[in-house]
């Protein structure tokens, strides 16, 4: 008997909630991120990630969320969106532009928020 695969629900909203901590002595910014789809938390990063270049904008949590969404096939066609966008800009600050454009083109409500925490253990 063939098995049936449940189709993924239509995505109507995505929320990306980041937490950042800036290490003053090393200049790095660490983050965690939580991703919700249609109001349900679907993933929380289990590790902190570092922005190793202190001159990068501090929004790597968005890139982490986009990578997870893309890797798990929640953003079909994102590669095409990135290619048609301002791909020559390498700053991670462009990550929010990619996902904003993708969500606008696919009628998906997008909410991005971040809070800065005083201690690394608060991530």
Count of structural domains, the chain: 1
Mean pLDDT, the chain, whole residue set: 80
pLDDT at res. 90 = 43
In a domain, 7, yes or no: no
26 pLDDT more than 90: no
CA distance 63 to 121: 22
In a domain, 118, yes or no: yes
The count of other CB atoms within 10 Å of the CB of residue 109 is: 11
Find the range with the poorest average confidence among 24-33, 82-91, 114-123: 82-91
Largest CA distance in the chain: 61
For the record, the structure tokens of 116 come out as 């800065």
| Domain carrying residue 37 | 13-122
Q: Which residue intervals of 1-123 are DSSP H helices?
A: 60-71, 78-84, 95-105
């Amino acid at each position: 008997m063939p098995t049936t695969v449940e189709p993924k629900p239509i995505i109507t909203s995505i929320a990306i909630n980041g937490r950042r901590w800036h290490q003053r002595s090393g200049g790095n910014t660490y983050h965690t991120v939580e991703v919700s789809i249609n109001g349900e938390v679907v993933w929380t990063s289990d590790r902190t990630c570092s922005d190793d270049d202190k001159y990068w904008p501090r929004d790597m949590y968005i890139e982490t969320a986009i990578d997870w969404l893309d890797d798990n096939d929640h953003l079909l066609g994102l590669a095409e969106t990135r290619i048609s966008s301002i791909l020559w800009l390498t700053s991670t600050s462009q990550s929010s532009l990619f996902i904003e454009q993708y969500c606008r083109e696919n009628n998906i409500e997008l909410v991005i928020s971040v809070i800065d925490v005083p201690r690394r253990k608060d991530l």
